[in-house]
Amino acid sequence: MGNKQTIFTAQQLFDRYRDLAPQLVPLDYTNHPDVKLPYELIGSMPELKDNPFRQRIAEVFSEDGEGNMTLDDFLDMFSVLSEMAPRDLKASYAFKIYDFNNDDFICKSDLEKTLNRLTRNELTEDEVRMVCEKVIDEADLDNDGRLSLEDFQHMIVRAPDFLSTFHIRI
């Protein structure tokens, strides 16, 4: 249990959620109002606004898949991206984030999108293609030309920096 840092409390999270749109979110959640914050607001949070994958993050964690988040989605997002979330959980959500077309596989087009967001389109097409090939070559264990969740997990659990970088803090 909380043997690491207590980074943010749920109350803080709620405050953050509410601060995004005080006119939309009621203070009193006892009547569980059906409130959703649009992606524009979520994506402009300082924690996310510089992240090249912010739209994916919002889409993955939102229930409607469009980036519009309820409070539950919001809590969910920060729970997974908290420091205490277990590695496997993080890995499975990271997979979802990098799976741009939601087909449960990371294929070449997903990789290209990832790369272009990571480098802001600074790499040439040839370079992108080469990196994609290398990635698939390295991580694709069943050789179907794309990465399944298992491939991804197999690769990511060995990554030295994954846990230290795949979290967000408020």
Partner 1 sequence: MPRDSLITSENDIDIGLEFAGDEDEVSSFQEEHERERHRAKRRDGDREKKKRRKGRRRRASRAGEREDELQARHEKREAGRRKRAKNYQESEGRERDEEEQAQIKTGKTAKTKKNIKNEKTRKVEQEEGEAEERNAKGKKKHGSAKKEEKDEDGGKCAAKEKTQEVKKKKHKRVVETSSEQETSEEDVNEEEDSEEKELRPESLSPEELEKLKEAVDERKKLIQGLRGKPWSMKKKLVTLRESQEFVEKYEGALGKGKGRKLYAYKVMMAKKWMKFQRDFENFKTACIPWEMKIKEIESHFGSSVASYFIFLRWMYGINMILFGLTFGLVMVPEALMGRPYGSIPRKTVPRAEEASAMDFAVLWDFGGYAQYSVLFYGYYNNQRAIGWLKFRMPLSYFLVGVGTVAYSYMVVIRTMARNANESGVGDDNSFNFSWKTFTSWDYLIGNPETADNKFASITTSFKEAILEEQESRKDDNIHLTRFLRVLANFLVLCCLAGSGYLIYFVVRRSQKFALDGLDTHTWWERNEVNMVMSLLGMFCPMLFDVISALENYHPRVALQWQLGRIFALFLGNLYTFIIALMDEINLKREEEKIVKFNITTWEASLYNSTVSENSTGPPITIQPADVPRGPCWETMVGQEFVRLIISDTMTTYITLLIGDFLRAVLVRFLNYCWCWDLEAGFPSYSEFDVSGNVLGLIFNQGMIWMGAFYAPCLPALNVLRLHVSMYLQCWAVMCCNVPQERVFKASGSNNFYMAMLLVILFLSTLPAIYTIVTIPPSFDCGPFSGKKRMFDVIQETLESDFPAWFSKVFSSASNPGLVLPFILLMVLAIYYLQSTSKSYKEANVELKKKLQTQNEENKKKNKRAALKAQMDLEEARKAASQTAEQQKNNNASLQDQEADEEENHSSSQRLYHGKNRRNPPAPVREQGLPATRAPVPRNYHHGNHGAPGYLPGFPRQSEPRMHRVPSLQRH
Cα dihedral 66, 117, 114, 46 sign: negative
Under the binding rule (CB under 8 A), the answer on residue 39 touching partner 1 is: no
Among 9, 44, 102, 109, binds partner 1 (CB under 8 A): 9
CA distance 37 to 156: 32
Under the binding rule (CB under 8 A), the answer on residue 158 touching partner 1 is: yes
CA distance 151 to 30: 43
Report which of 28, 156, 136 is spatially closest to residue 95, judged by C-alpha positions: 156
Q: How many CB atoms lie within 10 A of CB 62?
A: 22
CA angle 71, 74, 75 (to 5 degrees): 90
Contact set for partner 1, span 121-140 (CB under 8 A):
122-123, 127, 130-131, 134-135, 138-139
Among 18, 38, 108, 162, binds partner 1 (CB under 8 A): 162
CA angle 60, 61, 67 (to 5 degrees): 75
Under the binding rule (CB under 8 A), the answer on residue 153 touching partner 1 is: no
Binding mask 53-92 for partner 1 (x = CB under 8 A): x---------x-------xxx-xx-xxxxx-xxx-xx--x
Under the binding rule (CB under 8 A), the answer on residue 93 touching partner 1 is: yes
Among 44, 102, 109, 119, binds partner 1 (CB under 8 A): 119
Name which of 39 and 83 has its Cβ closer to partner 1: 83
